A and B are shown apart, each in its own frame.
Chain A
Amino acid sequence: MNTSPRKLNLDEWDGRYEQLRRDGLREPGYGGPLRRHVVRENDFRLEQLQFDSSPASLRLWNFLLTENERLRQARANGDKIVGTMKDLGTVPVMAYALPGVRAFYPDGAWWTPCLMECSDRLLQQAEAMGIDASFCPVRAMLPAFENGEHFPKPDLLVCSTGAVCDDFSAIAQRLEHRGHPIFWWEIPRRRQPASGELACALPGNLAAPTIQVDCVRAELQRIGNALGELAGRTLDDGGLAAGIRTANQVRRLLDTLRRTVYSAPAAPLPALEMLVAEMLAIHFCSDREETVAVLEDLLAEVQSRVRQNQFVIGADAVRIFWVNPVADLRAMNLLEELGGRICGSDYMFTHALDLIPENLPPLEALARTALADPMVGPTADRAARIVRECQAGRAEALVVSRIPGASHCAREGEIILEIVRREIGIPAIELEIPPVCDAMLATLGSRLQALVEIARSKNKAKS
């Protein structure tokens, strides 16, 4: 059997899995063939995807797709479950600092319509609840909260407000009005410090007025008190500092993984698995320790492939920087089918990839990290980071994927494209990708293929 790294469809993975089992594959409790997620959970989209062939990637997928089971087991074990919405990375660090508390990300239900190819009818049910297709697919979480099929009802639901996209606010408010109490906390819109104003450095080469950091720190203190009350113990600085160190362990692993994959002469891991791996930074897929193990496994696989010059995408693939996560995972496969590879990414949560300062009081460090969220500051800040990372990753083209209905990116894409074109002159396009993009595959394919052709033509002209 061919064991060199490659991409496999689900049928091919069935055979690969049997072979791995015969060869003595050892898996964690949530392991098993990918096919079972289609059979048991109706994750039909998996039948349309191409997956990496490694056991480490199998573990990653199984970890992602068993979160519901994990949360229910945690509930059965008496753990407290916290739903953290919108902050994408900060509150989970606090929740996991308390023993017996697990955080998850109900907004993550936005991928459910894609995975289940809308067979769950979550989007239609959200529409019946007054949140129609003019809103972000995050609206899928509304019926998911009520039918209880995709995640257990949390013991505490935390959501940021203030510098939050309008559609998300509307969805969260609708959720509360339907009887799901929310612990709201405010994140101000980040601004540049005025001349002479006291300022703080934030992760990601950013700065904010100290008064804003103070405000967020006070809000995080309130959240800490609520979490402590839920857990029946105080969330102290020692526990928080330990939580930050473990979160940073995940972030360091992801940093090494990203640098190894994106700087390799050809792609040692497909774009799809990289997207899933990066997503683990947000809330550790409801198991912080296992996240570390999954990422270590994946990193070891990637490092081994690079050492042996084994890649899944040819070295002639055009290096593409990708902005925003895709509503339909199929789009990441499509990019590679058409001659591209990812050389960098900004999936809207870069602040969850940056190290949390360990030399500051824990709440201060977390407040600064929360304020570095690319979604709470000016788009120009986000674009500046994208430009820097495009240059570092030697990007030859840029894709901004837009999520239908998501108000946070209604104009943002155009601004990022304009700044990237002006600063580094690489071809750049914006794509709108709905939760199931089958009807648009030809359209998306033409745009992506044209982008690859333009980048190649530019390279040819240079040489």
Chain B
Amino acid sequence: MIYAGIDAGSRSIKVVLFDTDQSQILASGLTDQGVEQERLAAELFEKLLKDAGLERPRISGVVATGYGRNAIRFADTTITEITCHARGVHRLAPDARTIIEIGGQDSKVISLEDGGRVRDFAMNDRCAAGTGRFLEMVAARLDMNWEKLAEAARQSKTPALISNMCVVFAETEIIGLLADGKPLPDVVAGVQNAIATRVSALAVRFVSPPVYFTGGVALQPGMARALEEVLACPVHVAPQPQFTGALGAALSVENKAKG
């Protein structure tokens, strides 16, 4: 049977088609989030069906997750991204005990029990520090794309200390550091460390290895290393980190169908 998971995140919409008989992802894709998110999700869904040579009736169920999940009215049900990331990461990395998910507009730490069930979670969706939004702001301010930002961070010898807890004030601080002659790679690495420090405050209560890192920010080279330093334990980037929520959503329909 084939199930679809749709993760309507704050920055992008991800869709996964999962075949439970073959136990494999048939197709996955993402598109930028927008005002008409249901239309955007539907178009991406239809495109993936077409690419995979499937007709809509072949899909046994659709689950939406993510911040915009309730807007996806063609989904059969909605499940939170906390449960979906847990299921998605557990499928790809069954040994995972902690998941750190940093998305465009929020971050989460999820503690898992045996079997991939959620034991506990903590979430920051009130403050842009500790989310991908911080990196986006820095990239825009420095007129650099995502890859160049990561490349710059790799060259850092002594990351700068970004002391402001607020992204708005941190922007001013970053400009000040650059004006004072602080090398750009050190400033970018400092931003990565600031995000990691912010996220680690969520994790402090229950982080236990193995720790897997997921969400779009996990694709930013240097972020996993920054997390490892503040958490003092290895942090593995989950396979296909931007799709674990959508995969978990697809797996959730499967679980529901099995009763």
A446 and B67 within 8 A (CB):
yes
B81 and A446 within 8 A (CB):
yes
Count of residues in B whose CB is under 8 Å from the partner chain: 15
Residue of A nearest to B125 (CB): A443
A458 and B80 within 8 A (CB):
no
A443 and B126 within 8 A (CB):
yes
Q: Which of B115, B120, B123, B126 contacts A446 (CB 8 A)?
A: B123
Contacts of B125 in A (CB 8 A): 443, 446
Chain A nearest CB from B248 CB (Å) reads 11
A106 on the interface (CB 8 Å rule)?
A: no
**Interface mask (A422-463 → B, CB under 8 Å = 1, otherwise 0):** 000001010000000000001100110110011001100100
**Interface mask (A229-243 → B, CB under 8 Å = 1, otherwise 0):** 000000000000000
* Most chain B Cβ neighbours within 10 Å, of A427, A429, A446, A447: A446
State A16–B248 Cα separation when bound (angstroms): 43
State A421–B82 Cα separation when bound (angstroms): 19
State A289–B117 Cα separation when bound (angstroms): 51
Chain B nearest CB from A3 CB (Å) reads 31
B120 and A447 within 8 A (CB):
no
State A360–B115 Cα separation when bound (angstroms): 56
B79 on the interface (CB 8 Å rule)?
A: yes
Given A453-B80, A453-B82, A453-B83, is A447 in contact with B118 using a C-beta cutoff of 8 Å? no
Residue of B nearest to A448 (CB): B80
B121 and A450 within 8 A (CB):
yes
Per the 8 Å Cβ criterion, residues 368-427 of A in contact with B are 421, 427
A454 and B118 within 8 A (CB):
yes
Contacts of A461 in B (CB 8 A): 115, 117
Residue of A nearest to B81 (CB): A446
**Interface mask (B44-82 → A, CB under 8 Å = 1, otherwise 0):** 000000000000000000000001000000000001111
Q: Which of B67, B83, B121 contacts A457 (CB 8 A)?
A: B83
Contacts of A454 in B (CB 8 A): 82-83, 117-119, 121
Chain B nearest CB from A5 CB (Å) reads 26
A427 and B120 within 8 A (CB):
yes
Chain A nearest CB from B50 CB (Å) reads 32
Residue of B nearest to A453 (CB): B83
Contacts of B118 in A (CB 8 A): 427, 450, 453-454, 457
Q: Which of B79, B83, B123 contacts A447 (CB 8 A)?
A: B123
* Most chain B Cβ neighbours within 10 Å, of A427, A443, A449, A457: A457
A450 and B83 within 8 A (CB):
yes
Contacts of A421 in B (CB 8 A): 120
Q: Which of A442, A443, A446, A458 contacts B82 (CB 8 A)?
A: A446
Q: Which of A429, A447, A450, A457 contacts B117 (CB 8 A)?
A: A457
Contacts of A427 in B (CB 8 A): 118-120
Residue of B nearest to A421 (CB): B120
State A60–B34 Cα separation when bound (angstroms): 45
Contacts of B126 in A (CB 8 A): 443
**Interface mask (A310-345 → B, CB under 8 Å = 1, otherwise 0):** 000000000000000000000000000000000000
Contacts of B123 in A (CB 8 A): 443, 446-447
Chain B nearest CB from A413 CB (Å) reads 13
Chain B nearest CB from A416 CB (Å) reads 14
B80 and A449 within 8 A (CB):
yes
Contacts of B81 in A (CB 8 A): 446
B115 and A450 within 8 A (CB):
no
Contacts of A446 in B (CB 8 A): 67, 80-82, 123, 125
Chain B nearest CB from A343 CB (Å) reads 20
Residue of B nearest to A447 (CB): B123
* Most chain A Cβ neighbours within 10 Å, of B80, B83, B118, B125: B80
* Most chain B Cβ neighbours within 10 Å, of A421, A450, A458: A450
Residue of B nearest to A449 (CB): B80
Per the 8 Å Cβ criterion, residues 110-144 of B in contact with A are 115, 117-121, 123, 125-126
Residue of B nearest to A458 (CB): B117
Chain A nearest CB from B204 CB (Å) reads 11
| Subset of 11 A-B contacts with CB under 8 Å | A427-B118, A427-B120, A429-B121, A443-B126, A446-B80, A447-B123, A450-B118, A453-B83, A454-B119, A454-B121, A461-B115
Q: Interface on A for B, CB 8 Å cutoff?
A: 421, 427, 429, 442-443, 446-447, 449-450, 453-454, 457-458, 461
Q: Interface on B for A, CB 8 Å cutoff?
A: 67, 79-83, 115, 117-121, 123, 125-126
**Ranked 4 nearest A-B pairs via Cβ:** A450-B82, A450-B80, A453-B83, A454-B118
Q: Taking A442-B67, A454-B82 as given, write out 18 further A-B residue pairs in contact, using a Cβ cutoff of 8 Å, ordered by the A residue number.
A: A427-B118, A427-B119, A427-B120, A443-B123, A443-B125, A443-B126, A446-B82, A450-B80, A450-B83, A450-B121, A453-B79, A453-B82, A453-B83, A454-B117, A454-B118, A454-B119, A457-B117, A458-B117
